[in-house]
């Protein structure tokens, strides 16, 4: 039985293990970085089992590299994790992170080409089939359009998701950063994304280095991102939303304060208003 | 504009580009211009390198602190030689940190405490992810590590990680013996300073019995007490639980 997901979740990070297990504050669901738990024994596995007794848990990967061929062992370990958690879906990014066994440990943009649409869609379909659950793909922050691109990001995302029949994990911070980095209005971008496919939302903090807006997940969510989130909720309704904080992680209470704020926006923002 | 006809060609060129072996200008000459400009494209090798450095800097915070205290630029140099010799080949970023311990150990001119700090960071992670198993030793968990360091490594590490370490300090040359183990009782990684009696108790569990009797000042009762304390801490299984 796959339970529906709702409300606001937070990322379960190693720094938060013990405080998450102790907290009595409201957490609607948890998201994990899949690779930190795949094939992993010890404390990560124990904490995951304890958390799974209390909350739904969604595996969110950073290394599936859907733009390239799928790796058998990766798919097998991810499939085992997703099944163990009985997750309603799992997610990763519309990008690549690996070339021929060389892991870059980063989310790298594909060229926005017809060929990359086909490759990414095929990779996403294969990954979802091997794991056996629906896949959501996240829009990444990209700092440069790759040489050879033939279309814009929104068309690329739309076509890949259509071809793969995958859901969209809409990262509102990435939407904002791409607007700043490429000089486009994020509301215009938002209007051209396949919002009917949005199944989950990410919110995170960022930093600015010179004229580049970096997706660092190291700070509180910025005010313009909150405003954009409210607009997204107005357009797509109360989609399950996650607070991501991966570097310079503060206390659990500080993360949960952000979750409360997101929940408040979701509660008071009517769809279509 | 030259359009890459095959993604294979794109990936074949991105790999050396991302590793800093091919310039953005050369990449654009081979694949066509980026609509965002050459300087933006050139950001990617920087970000990839920064990400690898970040993995190591977070994992080995105490090593970084001790490097900064020892010599300006040492940490950056150590990272640079490591990155030049090692490529991540696993999707779990912490795996990339594993060969760093051996890398530091090979740099013979470095202070010994850097090797000890790197080792301590790695065994704490290894203890955290180890499955509980008895590893062929009666009652001794496979997550158990016992180390004798020539410097005060655990306190220095704690200070570096919680931000209380005064800037410019190095580990004190005070020998210490530590056990690192994921407790069977709490599930957390516990770090203890075993007494001599506790070390004898651990040694006995591992099948060692001193040929010349007990060290001075120890009794069978004190060793039994330490054995029990280690069981209560979750470092050892109770005798009737062990094989």
Task: For residue range A255-268, list pLDDT tens digits in order.
Answer: 999 999 999 999 99
| pLDDT tops 70 at residue B2 | no
The question of ipTM being above 0.90 is answered as yes
- What pLDDT is recorded for position A246? 92
Contacts of B141 in chain A (CB under 8 A): none
Question: Which residues are CB-contacts of B161 (< 8 A; sequence separation ≥ 6)?
Answer: B61, B62
> Angle at which helices A223-236 and A172-182 pack, to 10 degrees?
120
Of B175, B181, B189, B113, nearest to B145 (Cα)? B181
Check pLDDT > 70 for residue A2.
Answer: no
- Name the band, by pLDDT with cuts 50, 70 and 90, for residue B3: very low
Question: Could you identify the residue written with the tokens 């909720």?
Answer: A233
Q: How far is B213 from chain A (nearest CA, A)?
A: 37
The answer, yes or no, to whether residue A273 has pLDDT greater than 70, is no
pLDDT of the residue at B33: 96
Q: Return the pLDDT at B242.
A: 47
Interchain proximity A113–B143, CB inside 8 Å? no
CA nearest to B143 within chain A:
A42
Rounded Cα–Cα distance for residues A207 and B83 (Å): 25
Mean pLDDT for A40-68 is 95
pLDDT confidence bin for A84, thresholds 50/70/90: very high
The shortest CB-CB distance from B43 to any of A98, A143, A182 is to: A143
Q: Is the pLDDT of residue B5 over 70?
A: no
The mean pLDDT of A130-142, rounded to a whole number, is 97
B135 pLDDT above the threshold of 70: no
pLDDT tens for A11-43 read: 999 999 999 999 999 999 999 999 999 999 999
Burial of B108 (0-12, 13-18, 19+ CB in 10 A): exposed
Q: Which residues, including other chains, have CB under 8 Å from residue B217's CB and lie 6 or more apart?
A: B196
- CA–CA separation, B230 vs B237, rounded Å? 8
Give the model's pLDDT for residue A107: 97
> Among A89-98, B51-60, B132-141, B186-195, which stretch is predicted with the lowest mean pLDDT?
B132-141
- Of the ranges A22-36, A236-250, B227-241, which one carries the lowest mean pLDDT score? B227-241
Predicted confidence at residue B1, as pLDDT, reads: 42
Answer yes or no: do B189 and A146 touch at CB < 8 A.
no
Size of interface A-B (CB pairs under 8 A): 128
Interface with chain B: mutation pick from A148, A184, A218, highest number of B CBs within 10 Å = A148
**For A47-51, A85-89, B232-236, which range has the lowest pLDDT when averaged over its residues?**
B232-236
What does the mean pLDDT of chain A come to? 95
Interchain pair B182, A41: CB under 8 A? no
**Which among A260, A197, A203, A254 has a CA at the least distance from the CA of A227?**
A203
For residue A108, report the phi and psi dihedrals to the nearest 5 degrees.
-115, 135
Place B236 in a pLDDT band, splitting at 50, 70 and 90. Answer: confident
Q: Average pLDDT for residues B93-107, to the nearest whole number?
A: 95
For the beta carbon of residue A231, count every other beta carbon within 10 angstroms: 14
Contact yes or no for A163/A194 (Cβ under 8 A)? no
The dihedral through the CA atoms of B151, B152, B157, B162 has a sign that is negative
Q: What is the pLDDT of residues B62-89, one digit of tens each?
A: 999 999 999 999 999 999 999 999 999 9
Q: Please tell me whether residue B208 adopts helix, strand or coil conformation.
A: coil
Q: Do B41 and A144 touch (CB under 8 A)?
A: yes
* pLDDT tens column, A193-222: 999 999 999 999 999 999 999 999 999 999
Cα B180 from Cα B190, distance rounded (Å): 6
Q: What distance in Å separates the CA atoms of residue A264 and residue A122, rounded to the nearest whole number?
A: 38
């Amino acid at each position: 039985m796959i339970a529906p997901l709702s409300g606001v979740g937070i990322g379960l990070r190693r720094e938060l293990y013990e405080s998450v297990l102790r907290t009595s504050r409201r957490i609607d669901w948890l998201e994990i970085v899949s690779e930190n738990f795949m094939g992993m024994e010890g404390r990560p596995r124990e904490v995951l089992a304890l958390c799974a007794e209390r909350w739904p848990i969604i595996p969110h990967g950073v290394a599936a590299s859907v733009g390239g061929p799928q790796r058998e062992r990766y798919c097998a370990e991810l499939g085992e994790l997703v099944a163990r958690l009985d997750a309603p879906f799992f997610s990763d990014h519309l990008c690549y992170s690996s070339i021929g066994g060389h892991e870059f440990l980063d989310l790298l943009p594909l060229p926005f080409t017809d060929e990359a649409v086909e490759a990414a869609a095929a990779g996403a379909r294969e990954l979802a089939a091997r794991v056996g659950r629906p896949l959501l793909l996240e829009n990444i922050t990209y700092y440069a359009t790759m040489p050879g691109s033939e279309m814009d990001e929104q068309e690329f995302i739309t076509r890949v998701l259509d071809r793969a029949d995958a859901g969209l994990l809409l990262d509102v911070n990435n939407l904002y950063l791409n607007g700043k980095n490429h000089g486009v209005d994020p509301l215009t971008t938002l209007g051209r994304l396949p919002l009917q496919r949005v199944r989950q939302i990410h919110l995170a903090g960022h930093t600015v280095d010179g004229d580049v807006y970096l997706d660092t997940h190291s700070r509180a969510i910025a005010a313009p991102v909150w405003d954009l989130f409210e607009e997204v909720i107005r357009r797509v309704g109360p989609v399950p939303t996650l607070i991501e904080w991966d570097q310079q992680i503060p206390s659990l209470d500080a993360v949960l304060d952000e979750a409360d704020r997101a929940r408040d926006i979701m509660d008071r923002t009517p769809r279509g208003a | 504009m030259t359009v890459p006809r095959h993604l294979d060609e794109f990936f074949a060129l991105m790999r050396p580009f991302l590793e800093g072996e091919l310039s953005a200008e050369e990449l654009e000459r081979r694949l066509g211009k980026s609509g965002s400009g050459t300087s933006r494209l050139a950001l990617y090798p920087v970000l990839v390198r920064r990400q690898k450095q970040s993995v190591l800097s977070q994992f080995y915070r105490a090593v970084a602190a001790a490097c900064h205290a020892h010599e300006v630029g040492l940490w950056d140099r150590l990272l640079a030689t490591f990155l030049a010799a090692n490529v991540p080949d696993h999707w779990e970023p912490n795996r990339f940190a594993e060969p760093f311990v051996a890398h530091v150990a090979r740099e013979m001119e470095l202070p010994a405490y850097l090797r000890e700090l790197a080792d301590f960071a790695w065994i704490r992670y290894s203890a955290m992810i180890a499955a509980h198993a008895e590893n062929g030793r009666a009652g001794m968990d496979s997550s158990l590590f016992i180390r004798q360091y020539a410097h005060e490594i655990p306190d220095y590490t704690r200070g570096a990680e919680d931000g209380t370490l005064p800037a410019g300090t190095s580990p004190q040359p005070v020998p210490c013996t530590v056990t690192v183990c994921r407790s069977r009782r709490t599930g957390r990684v516990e770090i203890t300073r075993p007494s001599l009696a506790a070390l004898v108790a651990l040694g006995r569990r591992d099948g060692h019995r001193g040929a010349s009797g007990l060290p001075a000042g120890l009794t069978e009762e004190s060793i039994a007490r330490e054995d029990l304390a280690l069981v209560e801490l979750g470092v050892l299984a109770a005798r009737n639980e062990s094989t």
